[in-house]
Structure 1
């Protein structure tokens, strides 16, 4: 987890067995915004980041599945461009 600030911006990418996709997506959507297939993003507190990681550890099979977290302390120097169809949503579902 970079830095010691309260919130960080996270991009989460996953590739899991089809048996676990729905459960992984549902868990991630409690904390992050769904962007498109297997990709979520959003600002998250350090405590919730740790909760998310713990929940995902219980769901995935480490021998078969992959979850990647990209964490950023700031988005000051970033931009986002969508080419083609915009998928997902901006709201977080609890």
Structure 2
């Protein structure tokens, strides 16, 4: 049985991918006691559009507060979603 990727390894792969794209700005959000709860793990901007990527292992879902933030970003015209891989991020651009 193949070992599933950790959230940290998925995040590293996504950051490497984002670094390879010239026209993308991104920021890795580091949670902590002074951070607003529910903010996606990675915020990115491409072509003037905000993207929020909540990184999860395959089979894991966003917490209720994370899902609420995802919904708020989407309702405001951005794109936010749970991602499990670089392929999920690539698909979000289109």
Coarse TM-score class (shorter-chain normalised):
under 0.3
Between the two structures, name the one with larger relative contact order (CA 8 Å, sep ≥ 6).
Answer: 1
Q: Which has the higher helix share?
A: 2
TM-score of the pair, normalised by structure 2:
0.26
Q: Which has the higher strand share?
A: 1
TM-score of the pair, normalised by structure 1:
0.26
